[in-house]
Structure 1
């Protein structure tokens, strides 16, 4: 994981690339691509800790989760390709939900391009109904929880 130059006291920061085809006709990062960048950053973080998919199957029961809510506020457009930083943390890890907050920033963290909230819910793959996070996921997620 990559850490921004500014001190981060909660959550984590993952550097994520912006590609040429992420930019819209005006040369700015298309609004829908922010969600993709956040998804990639959070996914990379969990994958590094053994919670992902391999061969179409979850490597952990906690990998089977979906986004329930997503909200974002845009501040300063991203106008270049290359890496940006995604700082994310958990405001709350509930019984079946994970309430993430995030900031998309320059690598040094000095400019906030956007910030927002994303709520994931863990599902039982057989019933597609919410089920509790495992103790393993709670242990892994502990460093993301904002004090």
Structure 2
């Protein structure tokens, strides 16, 4: 880990619930994508971007996951809070490559880490379209330098 990575992006707390666990009482592998989405959505919501009333509040909210890759280092056991650290490694014309880590609350354990590629799309056609200037300005603090 580099100093840049350590301080890039933001950290959001999410809560692991009983239904996130597999029969061994560890977080099921499929739930990591959902936990990441909760952390990222929470950050966007705090900045005025949401899906209130079933509609995106900004055209920059209409995105699809193109790629999701994760490496599991240590199981997350049981329920309770964990921290999700995420940042943007690359911001393209209509895409964003996010990096992420799942951390213990004291940040001494990296449970899992990976990347997620998002593509902004036109709401009606599903065709990739450029980010708006407002959207680019919003995520600028997340971009790793």
**Fold shared, TM-score > 0.5 on shorter chain:** yes
Shift of 1:45: 0.6
- The counterpart of 1:117, out of the listed 91, 115, 122, is 115
Unmatched segments (≥5 aa) in structure 1? 1-7
- Tell me the secondary structure at the aligned position of residue 55 of structure 1: helix
Contact 1:50 1:60 in 2 (8 A): no
Q: What is the count of residue pairs matched by the alignment? A: 141
Distance in 2 between residues matched to 1:29 and 1:9, nearest whole Å: 26
Which runs of 5 or more structure 2 residues have no equivalent in the other structure? 1-5
Displacement of 1:58 after TM fit?
0.9
**TM-score for both structures, normalised by structure 1:** 0.93
**Whole-angstrom CA distance in 2 between matches of 1:110 and 1:143:** 24
Secondary structure of 2:22's match?
A: coil
How far, CA to CA, are the matches of 2:74 and 2:32 in structure 1? Answer: 12
What is the aligned partner in structure 2 of residue 3 from structure 1?
A: none
Match of 1:12 in 2: 10
CA shift at 1:123, angstroms? 0.4
Mapping for residues 14-33 of structure 1, pairs under 5 Å: 14-33=12-31
Match of 1:81 in 2: 79
Higher helix share: 2
